[in-house]
Structure 1
Amino acid sequence: MSAQAQADLHREAAQPDDPYTLTQSGILEPPVGWAHSLKHLGPGLILSASIVGSGELIVTTTLGATVGFALLWMVIFSTFVKVAVQIELARWCISTGQPALTGYNKVGPHIGRLSWINVLWALMALSKVLQMGGVVGGTALALSILLPLGGDPLGGISLTIWTAVVSLGSIALLYSNSYGRIERGAGILVVLFSFITIGIALGLPFTPYAYSMEDIASGLSLAIPAGAIGAAVAMFGITGVGADELTFYTYWCIEKGYARHVGPNDGSEAWRRRAKGWISVMYKDAFLSWLIYTFGTIAFFIMGAAVLNPQGIVPQGNEMITALSRMYTDTLGEWAGLLFLVGAVVVLGSTLWAAVPSWSRMYVNLLAELGVLRWQDTAARLRWIRIFTVALPLIWGTAYLFMRSPVLMVQIGGVATGIFLLAVVVAVWHLRRTETDPRLYGSGAFNALLVVSSIAIVLLGVYTGLSALKLV
């Protein structure tokens, strides 16, 4: 046996379960068909848990309350148009075993050790501190209204205590960073709130806040009301798959085992067949998550448009939770306020459940690209991930206590996401051209959708950037 072969065997023995290390021992034949693929789905549930949260409950509902049904088409468009880019980035990661920020760092020019895309990612991450602070704050608000501590539920004492509870609770529940635990928790949270909300939205026609098919048709007219462009841009950036979800989906695809089961690329036909098979599983996973968050997003928008808009109620500041609860109390009665508050904790908590481990991985990947650690060092990687699992909820909670405006905080993150989407598209096309095996490319129809998606995202990113600079 050659020295290289012996070294490979020692490396496999040292890290037998690391999904980021592609070895011959990790190879597994892909399932065929939906029935056999179901147990291999899961990354999309984590994605849905993140998406069916701050964007839907806060931004989408607020947009519906502001403009009525007029931007329903934008809701549908924003959830659909980014899926092709998500799949193409995941295709690259499954075929190479590398996570997104490693790929981003291959796109020049570079500033020191980081590519311009990762520098832009770091700037986006700063704005996301506000967005995730808004999620922590929204969760704390719901809990404070449910059980005030120290007086006024919207007062400083109660909100501070519950913000601390949410932050520390997130750390305690997610510190292990077990993929299986994160996936199971995400699935439970998504099911609990999404189907309740979709059911209520479908039941609105039987209440005093009924909507008609004419309302739905008016929302599909491809128009943007005057004064709603900024809100629509933020919604496009944050609803559906945002730039951060596009990025962290790759980590969960790898940790589910898709790349490891494909194995290292030896150029063989067997490798191509396995890669195509596991990419097909990823397609099913992405499709299922798309169904979940699309219908969830539409439900939240319709509830805001049908219930809040006619009453002139627009969620703002710390009164956000109280205003949003009107969607439930005005349709089902006062008892439903309790249902909403519990649901708000679940839906915002689902975002935290997915976001804390996802952002922890991305931050550590960035540090690895800076040379702080070696990404393939499993022990060091997990140690750093746990450091961020502790630090991020504390930082996000502090950001909320400082700013205390969940709607604005989430919208700021949405605008930054819209700008970074442009960079993600550049990275996806670069990695497709330079590293993805051409034998794994999608069908002609998929490639056409990828082009359309990329153009739409680039135009949105350019517009968002110009708007941020006050040039349009």
Structure 2
Amino acid sequence: MRFGAGLLVTAAFIGPGTITTASVAGANFGFALLWTLLFSVIATIVLQGMAARLGIVTGLDLAQALRKHIHQPLFRYLAGFLVISAIGIGSAAYEAGNLTGASLGLIGLFPDSEHYYWTPVIALISAALLWTGKHKLVENALIGLVLIMSLVFITTMVMAGPDLGALMAGFVPSIPEGSLTTVLALIGTTIVPYNLFLHSGVLASQARHTEDKTRAVTHANWDTGLSVGLGGLITLAILSTASVAFFGQQVNSLSAATIAHQLEPLLGESAQYFFAVGLFAAGLTSAITAPLAGAYAVCGMLGWSNDMKNTRFRLVALFILIFGAVVASLGLDPFAVIIFAQATNGVLLPVVTFYLVWLVNSRKVMQEQTNGLGLNLLLIPIVLLITGLSIYKLVSLV
């Protein structure tokens, strides 16, 4: 069994934001929130597995499936607005953070340099890779970067030497005082809406050349479980390292830029360089996958081709990348755009989840590959969680 498209999901959700969120969770609450991570990983495997199966069986990505099967024009236009706003515009807004994170990683390796030197270089590398339109090339590059992240962060955790008993106790559900926002942030940084569009889009493109759909679905299920599980392990390693290093201490602030420096007392001077490699890999993987996901979502909802070599597809991905590069290079604050994207994401996630569940339970759409009873029962708490998370996000924004 080899890694495949599922690793793009891991590449997408392990970014600078996840590093910061997991570090804050470990620093402020020790191992107490590990159960949240476990739940998030299970929920992500279930949802991404359904999106992957939809792409393989129908040959449509999630955006195309929504456009095709929402027959009421008003609802179709509303879905299109939400998808383009949340995924397309949202990807552009978050791209600045991805490029900045990758730049900070390189600054950690080359301390005398400035981020505005590195941001255009990283953007050009990402653009060149996406412009090739070659699935395998992009996939292999991301697999390499994710494996680098895995090596860096898991080795860092082993060097930190967490208490295994305390670590295992963290899988028992509890919500320490003041931890609710962190719980929701940890869930939100793992269950990422645009990954549903990205995963289904890549596999839908590959499925056009696949005759044995059943075998492809089986492979995708294993790939999704292993890939997302690996992403969960990386997040666990980051959270555990922060817990050992910072829990119970007075740490003024944690960010992707300062964590490496603050780890030096625990791991020595090499920590800065070691962690910087992981931060660079995390930023670069997200910088590549965000434009890709945005292009699948926008092109699918507008009825355009989702072929990576299609000119419109390339231009949408390039626009998202350029927007992020400009914001990151000039030090602009995309606050208003991010708030808008978060608000539309808050509405979109439960809507898309409901539609995804409906699609993969429709025999007309999925033929023999519909959900089983056990999977649908497992979906109940996941759907309730997603709905609650979205409501909380919208209320907090208001």
TM-score range for the pair, normalised by the shorter chain length: 0.7 to 0.9
Instruction: Provide closer, same or farther for how the CA distance between residues 246 and 177 of structure 1 changes in structure 2, counting only shifts above 3 A.
Output: same
In the alignment, structure 1 residue 184 sits paired with structure 2 residue 140: yes
Q: For residue 293 of structure 2, what is the aligned residue in structure 1?
A: 358
State the alpha-carbon separation in 2 of the partners of residues 363 and 302 from structure 1. 37
State the alpha-carbon separation in 2 of the partners of residues 300 and 419 from structure 1. 30
Contact 1:238 1:413 in 2 (8 A): no
Contact 2:93 2:337 in 1 (8 A): yes
Instruction: Provide closer, same or farther for how the CA distance between residues 441 and 364 of structure 1 changes in structure 2, counting only shifts above 3 A.
Output: closer
Contact 1:308 1:326 in 2 (8 A): no
Alignment equivalent of 1:423, drawn from 340, 344, 351 = 351
Contact 2:38 2:171 in 1 (8 A): no
Q: For residue 436 of structure 1, what is the aligned residue in structure 2?
A: 365
In the alignment, structure 1 residue 107 sits paired with structure 2 residue 70: yes
CA deviations 1:385-428 (Å, max 9, x no partner) are 22233322220122335666899999997776454321221211
Contact 1:100 1:247 in 2 (8 A): yes
Instruction: Provide closer, same or farther for how the CA distance between residues 419 and 315 of structure 1 changes in structure 2, counting only shifts above 3 A.
Output: farther
Q: For residue 223 of structure 1, what is the aligned residue in structure 2?
A: 174
Matched to 2:378, the amino acid is L
Instruction: Provide closer, same or farther for how the CA distance between residues 260 and 341 of structure 1 changes in structure 2, counting only shifts above 3 A.
Output: same
In the alignment, structure 1 residue 458 sits paired with structure 2 residue 393: no
Q: For residue 138 of structure 1, what is the aligned residue in structure 2?
A: 101
State the alpha-carbon separation in 2 of the partners of residues 411 and 338 from structure 1. 33
1:314 CA displacement: 5.6
Q: For residue 199 of structure 1, what is the aligned residue in structure 2?
A: 155
Matched to 2:354, the amino acid is V
Larger radius of gyration: 1
State the alpha-carbon separation in 2 of the partners of residues 166 and 259 from structure 1. 32
1:70 CA displacement: 2.6
Q: For residue 41 of structure 2, what is the aligned residue in structure 1?
A: 79
CA deviations 1:197-248 (Å, max 9, x no partner) are 112213322xxxx43523541x334233333323322321122x41111221
Alignment equivalent of 1:258, drawn from 194, 207, 214 = 207
Q: For residue 9 of structure 2, what is the aligned residue in structure 1?
A: 47
| Contiguous gaps of at least 5 residues in structure 2 | none
State the alpha-carbon separation in 1 of the partners of residues 328 and 315 from structure 2. 21
1:250 CA displacement: 0.4
State the alpha-carbon separation in 1 of the partners of residues 296 and 217 from structure 2. 22
Matched to 1:354, the amino acid is T
Q: How does 1:341-380 map to 2 (within 5 A)?
A: 341-368=276-303, 373=304, 375=305
Contact 1:95 1:259 in 2 (8 A): no
Larger mean Cα displacement after TM superposition, 291-300 or 447-456: 447-456
Q: Which secondary structure does the structure 2 equivalent of 1:49 belong to? A: helix
CA root-mean-square deviation: 3.1
Instruction: Provide closer, same or farther for how the CA distance between residues 226 and 383 of structure 1 changes in structure 2, counting only shifts above 3 A.
Output: same
Q: Which secondary structure does the structure 2 equivalent of 1:452 belong to? A: helix
State the alpha-carbon separation in 2 of the partners of residues 356 and 389 from structure 1. 4
Instruction: Provide closer, same or farther for how the CA distance between residues 415 and 367 of structure 1 changes in structure 2, counting only shifts above 3 A.
Output: closer
Instruction: Provide closer, same or farther for how the CA distance between residues 63 and 415 of structure 1 changes in structure 2, counting only shifts above 3 A.
Output: farther
Instruction: Provide closer, same or farther for how the CA distance between residues 162 and 236 of structure 1 changes in structure 2, counting only shifts above 3 A.
Output: same
Instruction: Provide closer, same or farther for how the CA distance between residues 420 and 305 of structure 1 changes in structure 2, counting only shifts above 3 A.
Output: farther
Matched to 1:198, the amino acid is I
Contact 2:51 2:62 in 1 (8 A): yes
Matched to 1:334, the amino acid is E
CA deviations 1:268-292 (Å, max 9, x no partner) are xxxxxx3322211111111111221
Contact 1:308 1:314 in 2 (8 A): no
Q: For residue 197 of structure 2, what is the aligned residue in structure 1?
A: 247
Matched to 1:398, the amino acid is V
1:94 CA displacement: 1.5
Q: Which secondary structure does the structure 2 equivalent of 1:436 belong to? A: helix
Contact 1:242 1:417 in 2 (8 A): no
Alignment equivalent of 2:123, drawn from 128, 148, 167 = 167
State the alpha-carbon separation in 1 of the partners of residues 312 and 40 from structure 2. 34
State the alpha-carbon separation in 1 of the partners of residues 333 and 186 from structure 2. 17
Q: For residue 285 of structure 1, what is the aligned residue in structure 2?
A: 223
Q: Which secondary structure does the structure 1 equivalent of 2:310 belong to? A: helix
State the alpha-carbon separation in 1 of the partners of residues 17 and 101 from structure 2. 12
Aligned residues: 395
1:452 CA displacement: 3.4
Q: Which secondary structure does the structure 1 equivalent of 2:36 belong to? A: helix
Q: For residue 184 of structure 2, what is the aligned residue in structure 1?
A: 233
Matched to 2:6, the amino acid is G
Q: Which secondary structure does the structure 1 equivalent of 2:10 belong to? A: helix
Alignment equivalent of 2:318, drawn from 354, 374, 390 = 390
Instruction: Provide closer, same or farther for how the CA distance between residues 178 and 242 of structure 1 changes in structure 2, counting only shifts above 3 A.
Output: same
The percent identity for this pair of structures is: 20
Q: Which secondary structure does the structure 2 equivalent of 1:69 belong to? A: coil
> Normalization by structure 1: what TM-score?
0.75
CA deviations 1:125-173 (Å, max 9, x no partner) are 3333332211111112222343356xxx6xxxx2322222222232123
